[in-house]
């Protein structure tokens, strides 16, 4: 049985909603899944998993500090142990999937792209293969102005059920490639 860990940050529930769908999709493809908010990740070893999923909101077009700090801390440990090599050779069978929920009020998806690319670098530097990346448009909970007058139009109530189904379909597809 393949295994996966999903590490995520979520303050207003959007990323958690997506993380749960990612979990369901992977389980339907027979993965053993460990779902962890980033404040409950003590003892996690990335290399113990066939697939490491990381879910983040966009906070000023970067991951929130809690998530960045965790990734930096883990990276430093791996670096100290000699796992960060020049030219980042791929490690067989180690994969990463990154997803970002964002509201894009000013510049749309561009506010989420740096989040995903930044997170991805921690894993690519360790030799993980980035199997997929997903950007999920989501409401900014509690901000009517940002949810109705921003670049992405009316985003109230997102992600909707159909958006979550898109996530699940995509996750099931990537799971088959691992
Ligand atoms: C402090 C803060 C900063 C944010 N900055 C951005 C941003 O720069 N770009 C963006 O697209 N969305 C931004 N958002 C919206 C969130 O990324 C979005 O609502 C996300 O889905 C929240 O995830 P969560 O419900 O899992 O906490 C911000 C939200 C907060 C609370």
Domains and CATH numbers, the chain: 3-176 (3.40.50.360)
- State in Å: Cα 62 to ligand 1 middle: 9
11 Cβ closer than 6 Å to some ligand 1 atom = yes
Give the containing element (helix H, strand E) for 51.
strand 51-57
Indicate which residue's Cα is closest to atom 5 of ligand 1: 59
Q: Which residues of 121-156 are buried (b: 16+ CB within 10 A; e: fewer)?
A: ebbeebbbbbbbbbbbbbbbeeeeebbeebebeebe
pLDDT at residue 155, as a whole number: 98
129 Cβ closer than 6 Å to some ligand 1 atom = no
Return mean pLDDT, the chain: 98
pLDDT at residue 15, as a whole number: 98
For residue range 106-118, list pLDDT tens digits in order: 999 999 999 999 9
- State in Å: Cα 25 to ligand 1 middle: 24
Indicate which residue's Cα is closest to atom 4 of ligand 1: 59
pTM above 0.95, yes or no: yes
138 Cβ closer than 6 Å to some ligand 1 atom = yes
Return d(Cα 135, Cα 115) in angstroms, integer.
Answer: 10
Asked if 53 contacts 7 with a C-beta cutoff of 8 angstroms, the reply is yes
Asked if 175 contacts 130 with a C-beta cutoff of 8 angstroms, the reply is no
60 Cβ closer than 6 Å to some ligand 1 atom = yes
Give the containing element (helix H, strand E) for 20.
helix 14-28
For residue range 117-148, list pLDDT tens digits in order: 999 999 999 999 999 999 999 999 999 999 99
- State in Å: Cα 111 to ligand 1 middle: 9
The whole-angstrom distance between residue 103's C-alpha and the CA centroid of its chain comes to 15
- State in Å: Cα 100 to ligand 1 middle: 10
């Amino acid at each position: 049985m393949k295994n996966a860990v999903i590490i995520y940050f979520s303050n207003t529930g959007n990323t958690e909603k997506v993380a749960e769908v990612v979990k369901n999709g992977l389980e339907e493809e027979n993965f053993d899944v460990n779902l962890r908010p980033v404040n409950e990740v003590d003892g996690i070893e990335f290399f113990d998993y066939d697939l490491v999923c990381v879910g983040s909101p966009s906070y000023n077009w970067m991951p929130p500090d809690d998530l960045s700090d965790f990734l930096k801390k883990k990276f430093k440990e791996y670096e100290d142990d000699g796992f960060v090599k020049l030219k980042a050779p791929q490690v067989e069978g180690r994969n990463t999937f990154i997803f970002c929920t964002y509201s894009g009020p000013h510049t749309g998806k561009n506010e989420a792209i740096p989040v995903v690319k930044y997170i991805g670098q921690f894993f690519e530097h360790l030799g993980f293969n980035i199997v997929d990346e997903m950007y999920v448009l989501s409401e900014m909970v509690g901000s009517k102005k940002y949810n109705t007058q921003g670049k992405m139009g009316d985003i109230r109530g997102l992600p909707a059920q159909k958006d979550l189904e898109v996530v699940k379909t995509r996750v099931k597809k990537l799971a088959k490639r691992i």
